[in-house]
Amino acid sequence: MPPFDKIKEEGKRVTGEVREKVTGYILAALGLVAGLAWNEAIKALIEYFFPVSGGGLLAKFVYALFISFAVVVVSVYLARIMQRKP
């Protein structure tokens, strides 16, 4: 294979990797935006049911613990899936 063909082939491979990474970053950013929107919605729901003068602080801590637990469970599940991949 001539050197020019090797360079051309390597350029195609790098271009594909860059596109894959950029797509992943864009999807992660959109996921973050969706997560922030849900966070605001849940905070508003907590404030609606537990006014600031009441048990709002406790409800927010319960929410934070629940979200933390859910993130750990999903992370462990995804890590196991990635380990099974050949």
Model confidence pLDDT, tens digit, residues 40-49: 998 888 888 8
Rounded CA gap, 18 and 85, in Å?
22
How many Cα atoms within 13 Å fall on the side-chain side of residue 84? 6
Percent of the chain with pLDDT strictly greater than 90? 34
Model confidence pLDDT, tens digit, residues 10-52: 888 899 899 999 999 999 999 999 999 998 998 888 888 877 7
Four-point Cα dihedral 76, 77, 82, 86, nearest 10 = 120
**Residues 42 and 63: beta-carbon distance below 8 Å:** yes
What residue has token string 């934070």? 64
Q: What is the pLDDT of residue 37?
A: 95
65 falls in which pLDDT band (50, 70, 90)?
very high
Three-state DSSP class for residue 53: coil
Alpha-carbon distances of 28 from 51, 54, 73, rounded to whole Å: 33, 36, 19
76 falls in which pLDDT band (50, 70, 90)?
very high
